[in-house]
């Protein structure tokens, strides 16, 4: 195997980059390191902004071949690329030639395409949660019954009609929210953090290779 | 106190206790990994969700339908949610290998550009390890979109068109979790889910057949590998929980007496 | 198929149609159900009311177009409240769609005409800071580095008097985050916690349970969880808007949800007991 394909190289890179972040967080290492860490923060922001362009390029790389080869539903790929190009061009921040986010076409796309589509997809959750709850919220066991009762109290708490019909629902719902819910949230957060730490140790010690070539399992 | 004054010149203020706890857990993980390698394998409880993955893949194989496997929406480099994606990729390796072995199609809808090449290599490698590289299809690892609901819509459409037989979702999910679960149910897929995002756990519990909660997903890679060293590391998570419990109980008892020593210790 | 079988297997299309009807009907023909006001909402409003004149507030739009239904009314009410007070505030966004939403609200409220607030002196719109949690950290250290120009006019921030009072998180009296997920309160608490900046959080209902630990610890002073809290807030500040208008639809949707859950349980138990 060529040396540059050896699995030890990405593992070493992972370890070095992780230690660069972890050690200065805990240990005082002087102004030069602090400045390096601040610059690293700025670089990360630049990379995050640059990722937007990578996303656009990747979409072109994925959909252009579909159009060229006339694969299934190539028309939708064409529509996607045309709309993407249009949105990018009209949204370019060049006010002098009438482009930018004040551009009428850009505003139209945002107000009449992006916003309704995004909102509608999000709104689907209302339908899905009702059908899922109708199907699964059954008191099959003690735990399921407790879940059902707690959920019902909070539904009454959240609906103005609920607190109107059952005034005690507000106080009971607030208590559930502030006490048992908070305790469980903390427990899950602590458990999750511990799991992430141990996963980090496995990764840094080279045992966790699932994110590399699937060699861990 | 002199000790605290000197410590703060080496360790950033307010982070010493965190460092101590981190080191204890890290050393515990390394200790138990080495114990596992030495043959002393700890017994851990069954995790129904992880055991169900093979059952789900077997069911999909019998029905002649593909298996869907996704890792959530987080980028792998995300400091908070990246570990969930790594956990999901560990499961993907296992799923891909089983699918390759049984001759079942595995479809991996991807949302993140950083995850896409990793997922592709994991699946390709799995097929290679099973000696079935000719059956690997790169089109079965579609990069859908970096936009949450565009990804969700693409995923739902794929599940309907391909008639998913199993849907395995382990990683960081947000609002799309319920959409994907509900559509998975509608197409008759057996679903195993897992996330450490507390706000989505209720939806997964309600809408999928098996749900891994919080830290169980981080143990997934170790658990599925059945590697003794990896299983040993799971014990370290429990060590951390024991430390947390001791601190909580001590904090309550000492706090009731009016003393703030535990709080001050943790603020060091 | 027995009655209980039918009740246990109602076609999902019927469920969806009924939900559609119960959401739409109160929006077209409001019922006017009363909305009681919770402690969290009072705390949210009180925190803004008690800000000393001239305090610097940072208002962060941490949500996108998908959450407009639930968070837009809250965002409008919050901005109205801030414009009505003698405080200064900077609008930022950690989500890339945040500026689009903020711009919608600014156009709707028309601050100079409605409140007499001058851009650059009383308020400023800085725009989107890319990088999520990394951006929050960078902002805590140096606002000018993250936002060298403002969002509306693309002029150097040094030209604006308000920015002379906003260099880092140390200058901020209150952080208000209107958010829908990640990055959100967890990231703000991690990055701005060391600066001890009090926070107000307005979030979608499903995210609210995750905010409670911060409420209990005192890092978050007030919480508006979801549309119902938005309606409470609008009533409290005396500016009825979209949230109050949607409150009836909220009630009817929740009730139909419960009705279906009850039907599912009744049919389940009836079948289990062999009732014909």
Same domain, B196 and B240: no
Nearest residue in chain B measured CA to CA from A52: B146
CATH assignment of the domain containing B67: 3.40.50
Is residue C47's pLDDT more than 70? yes
Residue A212's pLDDT band, with cuts at 50, 70 and 90, is: low
- Residue B225 domain-assigned (yes or no): no
pLDDT, one tens digit per residue, over B12-29 is: 777 888 888 888 888 888
Number of B–C residue contacts, CB under 8 Å = 23
Is residue B1's pLDDT more than 50? no
Distance from CA of A152 to the nearest CA of B (A): 14
Same domain, B174 and B116: yes
Domain at C39-250: CATH code: 3.40.50.10160
Residue C201's pLDDT band, with cuts at 50, 70 and 90, is: very high
Sequence-distant (≥ 6) Cβ neighbours of residue A64 within 8 angstroms:
A77, A81
Q: Which of A38-42, B146-150, C2-6, C51-55 has the lowest mean pLDDT?
A: A38-42
Domain span holding position B185: 48-218
- C102 or A191: which leads in pLDDT: C102
For C134, the closest of A44, A167, A178 (CB atoms) is A44
Residue A33's pLDDT band, with cuts at 50, 70 and 90, is: confident
Identify which of C134, B116, B7, C110 has the alpha carbon closest to the alpha carbon of residue A46: C134
The structural domain count of chain B equals: 2
pTM of the model: 0.84
Same domain, B126 and B28: no
The backbone region for B39, taken as left when phi is positive above 0, alpha when psi lies in -120 to 50, beta otherwise, is: left
Distance from CA of B89 to the nearest CA of A (A): 5
Contact residues, chain A, for C255 at CB < 8 Å: 159, 161-162
- Residue B223 domain-assigned (yes or no): no
pLDDT at position B2, please? 42
Mean pLDDT, residues C225-245 taken together:
94
Q: Return the percentage of chain C with pLDDT > 90, whole number.
A: 76
pLDDT at position C276, please? 66
Q: Nearest 5 degrees, angle CA A217-CA A213-CA B99? A: 60
B15 in A contact zone (CB under 8 Å) = yes
- A103 or B189: which leads in pLDDT: B189
Contact residues, chain C, for B199 at CB < 8 Å: 181, 206-207, 209-210
Residue A217's pLDDT band, with cuts at 50, 70 and 90, is: very low
Is residue C17's pLDDT more than 70? yes
Same domain, B125 and B246: no
B148 contacts C66? CB cut-off 8 A: yes
For chain B, the chains sharing at least 3 beta-carbon pairs closer than 8 angstroms are A, C
Distance (Å, whole) CA C262 – CA C276 = 18
A216 contacts B241? CB cut-off 8 A: no
Mean pLDDT, residues B248-259 taken together:
88
Number of A–B residue contacts, CB under 8 Å = 183
Tokens at C210, concatenated: 């995750």
The count of C-alpha atoms lying within 13 angstroms of the C-alpha of C99, restricted to the half-sphere facing its C-beta, is 15
Same domain, B61 and B16: no
Other residues' Cβ atoms within 10 Å of the Cβ of residue C34: 10
Distance from CA of C13 to the nearest CA of A (A): 9
Distance from CA of C210 to the nearest CA of B (A): 7
Tokens at B220, concatenated: 């997934």
Candidates B195, B221, B241: best to mutate against A (most CBs of A within 10 A) is B221
Same domain, B6 and B108: no
**Mean confidence (pLDDT) of chain B:** 88
Residue A124's pLDDT band, with cuts at 50, 70 and 90, is: confident
Candidates A49, A207, A212: best to mutate against B (most CBs of B within 10 A) is A207
Number of A–C residue contacts, CB under 8 Å = 150
A25 contacts B15? CB cut-off 8 A: yes
Same domain, B149 and B208: yes
Mean pLDDT, residues C263-272 taken together:
90
Same domain, B174 and B188: yes
Distance from CA of B197 to the nearest CA of C (A): 9
Mean pLDDT, residues C114-135 taken together:
93
For A201, the closest of B26, B91, B201 (CB atoms) is B26
Is residue C60's pLDDT more than 90? yes
pLDDT at position A213, please? 57
A178 contacts C213? CB cut-off 8 A: no
pLDDT at position A215, please? 44
Other residues' Cβ atoms within 10 Å of the Cβ of residue C167: 14
Distance (Å, whole) CA A74 – CA B62 = 32
Mean pLDDT, residues A61-89 taken together:
89
CA distances for C74 relative to A82, A168, B181, C128, angstroms: 35, 26, 30, 20
Same domain, B122 and B187: yes
pLDDT at position B169, please? 97
A211 contacts B90? CB cut-off 8 A: yes
Mean pLDDT, residues A35-40 taken together:
76
ipTM above threshold 0.85: no
B80 contacts C187? CB cut-off 8 A: yes
A202 contacts B179? CB cut-off 8 A: no
Sequence-distant (≥ 6) Cβ neighbours of residue A74 within 8 angstroms:
A66, A67
pLDDT, one tens digit per residue, over B189-224 is: 999 999 999 889 989 998 999 999 888 888 887 788
Candidates C258, C260, C266, C269: best to mutate against A (most CBs of A within 10 A) is C258
B178 contacts A128? CB cut-off 8 A: yes
Mean pLDDT, residues B89-117 taken together:
92
Distance (Å, whole) CA A11 – CA A5 = 12
User: In sequence order, which ranges of B103-145 are alpha helices (DSSP H)?
Assistant: 115-129
pLDDT at position C32, please? 85
**Mean confidence (pLDDT) of chain C:** 93
CA distances for C21 relative to B109, B240, C26, C27, C252, angstroms: 34, 51, 9, 10, 10
Contact residues, chain A, for B203 at CB < 8 Å: 129, 132
Q: Return the percentage of chain C with pLDDT > 70, whole number.
A: 99
- B79 or B104: which leads in pLDDT: B104
Nearest residue in chain A measured CA to CA from B268: A26
């Amino acid at each position: 195997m060529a040396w540059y394909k050896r699995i030890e190289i990405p593992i070493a890179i992972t370890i070095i980059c992780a230690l660069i972040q972890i050690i200065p967080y805990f240990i005082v290492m002087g102004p030069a390191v602090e400045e390096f860490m601040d610059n690293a923060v700025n670089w990360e922001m630049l990379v995050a902004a640059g990722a937007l362009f990578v996303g656009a390029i990747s979409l072109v790389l994925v959909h252009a071949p579909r159009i060229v080869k006339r694969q299934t539903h190539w028309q939708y790929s064409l529509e996607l690329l045309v709309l993407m190009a249009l949105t990018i061009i009209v949204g370019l921040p060049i006010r002098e030639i009438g482009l930018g986010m004040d551009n009428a076409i850009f505003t139209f796309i945002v107000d009449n395409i992006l916003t309704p589509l995004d909102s509608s997809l999000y709104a689907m959750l209302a339908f899905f949660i009702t059908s899922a709850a109708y199907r699964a919220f059954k008191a099959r066991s003690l735990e399921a019954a407790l879940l059902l009762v707690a959920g019902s109290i909070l539904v009454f708490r959240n609906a103005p009609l609920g607190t109107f019909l059952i005034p005690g629902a507000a106080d009971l719902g607030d208590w559930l929210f502030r006490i048992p819910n908070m305790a469980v949230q903390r427990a899950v957060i602590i458990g999750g953090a511990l799991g992430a730490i141990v996963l980090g140790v496995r990764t840094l010690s080279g045992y966790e290779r699932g994110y590399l070539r699937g060699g861990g399992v | 106190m002199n000790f605290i004054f000197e410590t703060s010149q080496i360790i950033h203020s307010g982070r010493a206790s965190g460092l101590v706890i981190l080191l204890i857990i890290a050393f515990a993980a390394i200790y138990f990994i080495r114990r596992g390698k030495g043959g002393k394998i700890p017994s851990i409880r069954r995790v129904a969700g992880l055991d169900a993955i093979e059952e789900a893949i077997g069911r999909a194989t019998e029905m002649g339908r593909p298996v869907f496997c996704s890792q959530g929406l987080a980028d792998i480099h995300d400091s908070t949610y990246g570990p969930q994606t790594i956990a999901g990729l560990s499961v993907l390796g296992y799923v891909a290998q089983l699918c390759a072995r049984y001759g079942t199609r595995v479809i991996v809808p991807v949302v993140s550009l950083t995850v896409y090449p990793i997922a592709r290599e994991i699946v390709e490698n799995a097929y290679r390890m099973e000696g079935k590289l000719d059956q690997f299809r790169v089109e079965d690892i579609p990069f859908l979109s970096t936009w949450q609901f565009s990804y969700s819509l693409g995923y739902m459409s794929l599940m309907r068109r391909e008639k998913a037989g199993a849907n395995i979702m382990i990683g960081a999910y947000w609002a799309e979790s319920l959409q994907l679960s509900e559509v998975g149910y509608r197409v008759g897929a057996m679903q195993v889910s897992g996330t450490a995002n507390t706000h989505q756990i209720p939806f997964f519990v309600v809408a999928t057949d098996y749900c891994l909660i919080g830290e169980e997903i981080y143990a997934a890679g170790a658990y599925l590998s059945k590697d003794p060293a990896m299983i040993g590391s799971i014990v370290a998570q429990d060590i951390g929980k024991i430390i947390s419990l001791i601190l909580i109980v001590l904090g309550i008892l000492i706090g009731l007496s009016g003393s703030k020593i535990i709080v001050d210790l943790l603020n060091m | 198929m027995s009655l209980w079988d039918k009740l246990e297997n109602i076609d999902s299309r019927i469920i969806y149609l009924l939900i559609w009807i119960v959401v739409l009907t109160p929006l077209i023909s409001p019922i006017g159900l009363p909305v009681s006001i919770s402690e969290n909402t009072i705390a949210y409003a009180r925190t803004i009311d008690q800000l000393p004149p001239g305090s610097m507030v940072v208002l962060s739009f941490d949500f996108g177009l998908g959450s407009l239904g639930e968070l837009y009314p809250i965002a409008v009410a919050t901005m109205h409240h801030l414009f009505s007070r003698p405080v200064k505030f900077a609008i930022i966004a950690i989500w890339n769609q945040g500026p689009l939403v903020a711009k919608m609200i600014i156009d709707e409220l028309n601050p100079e005409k409605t409140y007499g607030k001058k851009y650059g002196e009383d308020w400023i719109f800085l725009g989107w800071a890319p990088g999520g949690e990394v951006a929050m950290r960078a902002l805590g250290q140096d606002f000018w580095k993250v936002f060298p120009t403002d969002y509306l006019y693309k002029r150097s921030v040094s030209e604006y008097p308000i920015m002379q009072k906003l260099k880092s998180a140390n200058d901020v009296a209150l952080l208000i985050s209107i958010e829908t997920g990640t990055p959100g309160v967890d990231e703000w608490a991690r990055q701005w916690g060391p600066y001890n900046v009090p926070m107000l959080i307005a979030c979608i209902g499903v995210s609210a349970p995750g905010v409670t630990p911060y409420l209990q610890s005192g890092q978050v002073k007030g919480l508006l969880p979801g549309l119902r809290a938005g309606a409470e807030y609008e009533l409290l500040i005396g500016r009825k808007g979209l949230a109050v208008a949607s409150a009836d639809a909220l009630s009817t949707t929740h009730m139909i949800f419960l009705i279906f859950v009850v039907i599912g349980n009744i049919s389940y138990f009836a079948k289990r007991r062999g009732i014909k």
